[in-house]
């Protein structure tokens, strides 16, 4: 697991905030159908695989040391192709998706996205047990002391979901007739994006987006005012994106400017910590000038492990995921996923474990030629040497620099950079891990870990194999705090790095 910690600043004395965690997934959009494409035919959608990813997400949440308080399912749980006009599998698709979420010992907070409205109208959603209200799906709840979650409905003003004479639909017809005449009043016909390539944020005026509307925005303002008055921080959830820099500039709610004014108002007093959205399957991240984190999460339709956990603390939101970049893309301004290293080492130290760190790119400059380290190697070394880690790291095993290297730093950590088979030698071996030392065995040690200053000399041993003798060297482990007592367990792992095979 890796994690990205955001919202590191802020005055924790201003808010008496509790701690909690919740799962995150957006735009599962599954269907029992062959892979398809988005509206613009530019992105593949893996419909069946997305349900598998939802199941994997539930399994991952179940394996956590503590279950999340809830799961934020940010809308579009099933795809529009399930509807009666196409596959006719709406009810079955929804049941299979909700069955996965039902395996959790916590509720899911399900938002309404456009694909819910391709499958159900508002009358049907008003009777849906898996929603709070359905017709007007905006509300708030209080997950922990000092925190409020505000759930918004991005399609209160919309061409989809409402009856023909619903005032909210009639308002949408009027807006789109004014802002994008390519759209027909029924929202089905017309070349929505014709001539809109260079229209900037005007591109948002399409039927697959929608608006909050005045009634909901007034309610939103009152919620933030109430939160600010009692010192609460607020997490806002909306299927459709509120900040144009948290998407490609065309998938925001129609009235995003009004929503941002509410968030930035004097009444809100800076209480909003983050806005969590889906809708734009590529995801995005932007921290605005007011310190609000706008997070747009990637869809499982893209094929990655697009799910995770948000841990909420007084001064920090911490996102954990199997692969952060599969959930929240690596864009300018997004923090680097490094903090869990510190969390992991602290946890190891607290229970007396020793740690082997593996990284393809090298962490210590003296374990390479000085130019093949990770960009943030200094921060990584600070984590390894931190008080929380308490000297639990025994060794760092790397590849990347084909010539290999070895360095034992002043903290007793062995930095081993293993040679590549591209060099032509027998660059493979075995590491035996015991309580007081690491033993590397190989046909030829120098072919795996080069003979550099400071590296122990190998000896020839007979390891009992029918292959006959091999070479061995031992890396002695440093003493650590007396509270770290390593059990007398022996493990071994084979080692090989940088094969880089190319077939012509």
Mean pLDDT by 10 residues, the chain (504 residues): 42 54 97 84 86 97 93 98 95 98 98 97 97 97 96 97 96 92 76 74 92 98 98 97 95 97 97 96 95 96 93 87 92 77 78 94 95 89 88 96 96 96 92 92 95 94 71 85 37 49 30
The pLDDT of residue 189: 73
Distance between the two ends of the chain, CA-based, in angstroms? Answer: 36
From 276, 159, 135, select the one nearest 209 (Cα to Cα).
159
- Residue given tokens 């000297």 in the structure block: 391
| CB hemisphere CA count around 139 (13 angstroms) | 13
The pLDDT of residue 466: 53
State the Cα angle at 339 between 15 and 50, rounded to 5°. 95
Cβ contact 430:445 at 8 Å: no
The pLDDT of residue 480: 54
Q: Which two tokens stand for residue 330?
A: 């690596």
Provide the whole-model pTM.
Answer: 0.70
State the Cα angle at 409 between 455 and 476, rounded to 5°. 55
The pLDDT of residue 411: 94
Cα separation, 429 vs 409, in Å, equals 23
């Amino acid at each position: 697991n890796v994690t990205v910690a955001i919202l590191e600043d802020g005055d924790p004395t201003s808010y008496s905030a509790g701690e909690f965690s919740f799962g995150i997934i957006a735009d599962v959009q599954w269907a029992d159908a062959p892979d398809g494409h988005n509206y613009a035919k530019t992105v593949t959608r893996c419909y069946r695989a997305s349900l598998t990813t939802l199941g994997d997400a539930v399994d991952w949440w179940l394996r956590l040391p503590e279950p999340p308080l809830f799961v934020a399912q940010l809308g579009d749980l099933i795809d529009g192709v399930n509807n009666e006009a196409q596959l006719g599998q709406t009810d079955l698709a929804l049941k299979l998706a909700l069955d996965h979420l039902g395996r959790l010992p916590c509720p899911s907070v399900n938002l309404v996205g456009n694909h819910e409205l391709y499958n159900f109208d508002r009358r049907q959603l008003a009777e849906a047990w898996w929603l709070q209200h359905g017709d007007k799906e905006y509300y708030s709840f209080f997950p922990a002391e000092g925190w409020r979650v505000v759930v918004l409905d991005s399609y209160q003003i919309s061409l989809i979901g409402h009856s023909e004479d619903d005032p909210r639909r009639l308002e949408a017809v009027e807006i789109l007739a004014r802002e994008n005449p390519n759209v027909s009043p029924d929202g089905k016909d017309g070349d929505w994006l014709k001539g809109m390539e260079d229209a900037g944020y005007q591109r948002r005026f399409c039927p697959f987006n929608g608006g909050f509307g005045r009634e909901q925005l007034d309610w939103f303002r009152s919620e933030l005012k109430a939160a600010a008055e009692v010192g609460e921080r607020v997490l806002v959830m909306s299927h459709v994106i509120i900040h144009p820099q948290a998407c490609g500039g065309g998938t925001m709610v129609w009235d995003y400017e009004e929503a941002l004014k509410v968030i930035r108002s004097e009444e809100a007093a800076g209480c909003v910590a983050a806005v969590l959205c889906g809708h734009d399957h590529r995801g995005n991240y932007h921290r605005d000038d007011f310190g609000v984190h706008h997070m747009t999460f990637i869809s499982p339709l893209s094929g990655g492990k697009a799910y995770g956990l948000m841990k909420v603390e007084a001064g920090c939101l911490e996102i954990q995921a199997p692969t952060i970049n599969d959930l929240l893309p690596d864009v300018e301004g997004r923090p680097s996923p490094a903090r869990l290293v510190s969390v992991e080492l602290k946890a190891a130290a607290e229970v007396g474990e020793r740690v082997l760190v593996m990284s393809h790119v090298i962490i210590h400059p003296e374990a390479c030629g000085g130019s093949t380290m990770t960009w943030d190697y200094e921060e990584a070394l600070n984590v390894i040497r931190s008080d929380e880690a308490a000297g639990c790291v025994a060794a760092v095993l790397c590849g990347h620099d084909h010539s290999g290297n070895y360095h034992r730093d002043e903290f007793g950590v062995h930095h081993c950079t293993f040679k590549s088979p591209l060099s032509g030698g027998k660059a493979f071996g075995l590491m035996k891990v015991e309580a007081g030392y690491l033993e590397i065995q190989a046909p030829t040690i120098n072919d795996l870990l080069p003979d550099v200053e400071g590296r122990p000399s190998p000896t020839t041993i007979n390891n009992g194999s029918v292959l006959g003798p091999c070479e061995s060297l031992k890396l002695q482990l440093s003493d650590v705090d007396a509270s770290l007592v390593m059990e007398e367990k022996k493990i071994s792992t084979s080692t090989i790095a940088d094969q880089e095979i190319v077939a012509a």
